[in-house]
A and B are shown apart, each in its own frame.
Chain A
Amino acid sequence: MRKDAGTVYIVAIAVSSFALAALLDDSSLSVYVLLTLTATVTIGVSLLMGHAGQVSLGHGAFYACGAYAAGILATQGFPTWLGLLLAPVAAAAVATSVGVPLLILRGHHLAFATLAFHLISLSLISELAITGGDVGLQGIPRLSIAGVTLTSVRSYAYLSCAALLLIVVITRNILASRPGRALRALSSSEVAAASSGVPVGHYKLAVFALSAGFAGLAGGVYAFYLGYLAPGSFPVMLSIEYIVMAAVGGLGKVSGALIGSSVVFLLVHGLSRVGTLNGMPSTAPIILSYAVYAVLLVGAVLFLPEGLVGGVAALGARRRARALAATSEQKERAPSELQPAAVASERVAPKHGSLS
């Protein structure tokens, strides 16, 4: 039953995405391409934060890694399709090697380490000759697969849509499988998962590498779409954007990542457009987008920890619970009343001893 619902869901997304790619006009399509690429990365970030419990302030670096891998290969004369194929591989490989030492860290140390990784990556990109340094990598040829060269925006829209759907299918399959159940166990309690035999370290590394691969694939498409890369395209702010989108939508769920990235991206894009209207100062777009990111992030983390998806689900659950209480004879306490006691103890629970 659940499996059917899942397939319907994916088919629905696929159909609507392709329809949009086919029907939108060129200027909207450029937004579409960037949105789908962003969503692809966000799914990985959401997976990482939701299931492996790790805050990554550096996923923009994996996006850059994939982009530059594809771009470098293409400008060095290799076939472009090879560049696209190797982009996620390169990102995942970097993530694996970096992840082994990094994932020993937890919580804020890990957050800092990922931020450091992004900054060091930017520094490297700016210095190396092969990446074009500060100036950037220019003249990346158009992507051609099996003799077909993609030149129009619409063709890249189809491509990015395909990439997104691929990632969606992969992610859903993983989450539904046995490793996926282990992942869910991991997200609720690392200690419990470890004691039931889940190789926590391996899983964390796997999710980290996988999410990097997703970002790398998106980066590869981006390289061919734009034809030009520079370190300035991958600021630290980019990594923060992914976190905002993942948090707003709801961590750990594909639907959350899709909804979160769509809502945030379109909102920011819309406000940026407002910011460029006549009479607005030149800095208005920046101000509005930063303000939106900030408010959404703080709002999500403080008030909607389950994200939009979770919030809607909780609302539904509360309504059902209330309906049940109203119809039954027994006096039942609504979930919201139970929260204060639990919430109060969270901050100041004793370090030692049981709560007896």
Chain B
Amino acid sequence: MIRVDDLSVRYGAATALDGVSLSVAPGEKVALIGANGAGKSTLLNALSGVVLKASGSIRIDGRFAHVPEGRQLFGDLTVEDNLSLGAYRGGTRNPAWLYEFMPELGRLRRQRAGSLSGGQQQMVAIGRGLMAEPDVIAIDEMSLGLAPIIVQQLARKLSELNAQRGLTLLLVEQSARVALALCDRAYVLETGRIVAEGEAAELSDSPFVEAAYLGRPVGAAS
């Protein structure tokens, strides 16, 4: 579904990604773990085509939705408009089906997106991504600034979608706990390079990952 080979991305003289390779198979749930500044968002931006690569290759089969870090909603528009615009590339523009799946969004539909709480905004952001009816969805820092219970809810919903509709997940996180709990496989990204990869359970147990990434409580900002 996603195949990245030896990808490098530079901003001027600084190297943000250096020879990164990873792959995500259809129906998989994969986590990408890394600290602030490691290059996670850059990788997603490269997958979206927002940032140009200096070298390497990217291959994505099917429709790719990128839910960016920090919600990035259209603050002046209503929730419904935000969701509807998620289908710009394709998919049904009417969010009725999404409201069935995420009724909270249905309740908020007429509200101005900028006036919602962090958790609500994150739900809208994910909803917007889902509106594109993607084959694979990448979510950047889903748990940042959210209460644990909300994060659990979101994780549950994503699991459902993965199980029922085969939605491929790529979760990008600083806080590894949630990501490793939800996903099957994981990569660890450090200063632009993949330093570890493997089954989520293995990485959970690895002392290296534990020291660097599991020491932080879930949902805390760095």
Contact = CB atoms under 8 A, between A and B. Distances in A.
Contact of A352 (B10, B37, B51, B69): B69
A350 B53 contact: no
A356 B40 contact: yes
Interface of A: 333, 337-338, 340-342, 344-345, 348, 350-356
Contacts of B41: 350, 353-356
Contact of B39 (A344, A345, A356): A356
A341 B51 contact: yes
Interface in B56-75: 68-70, 72
Nearest to A342: B12
B36 interface: yes
A340 B54 CA distance: 8
28 contacts: A333-B54, A337-B54, A338-B12, A340-B54, A341-B9, A341-B10, A341-B12, A341-B51, A341-B52, A341-B53, A342-B10, A345-B11, A345-B51, A350-B68, A350-B69, A350-B70, A351-B72, A352-B69, A352-B70, A353-B41, A354-B37, A355-B11, A355-B41, A356-B34, A356-B38, A356-B39, A356-B42, A356-B69
A345 B14 CA distance: 13
Contacts of A352: 69-70, 72
A350 B54 contact: no
B149 interface: no
Nearest to B13: A338
Interface of B: 9-13, 16, 34-42, 45, 50-54, 68-70, 72, 141
Given A345-B11, A356-B69, 17 more contacts: A337-B54, A341-B52, A342-B11, A344-B50, A344-B51, A344-B52, A345-B50, A345-B51, A351-B70, A352-B70, A353-B41, A353-B141, A354-B37, A355-B37, A355-B41, A356-B36, A356-B40
A342 B51 CA distance: 8
Given A342-B12, A345-B11, A353 B69 contact: yes
B69 A338 contact: no
B37 A345 contact: no
B52 A340 contact: yes
Contacts of A344: 50-52
B92 to A, nearest CB: 26
Question: Which of A340, A341, A352, A353 counts the most chain B CB atoms within 10 A?
Answer: A341
A240 to B, nearest CB: 32
A58 B111 CA distance: 45
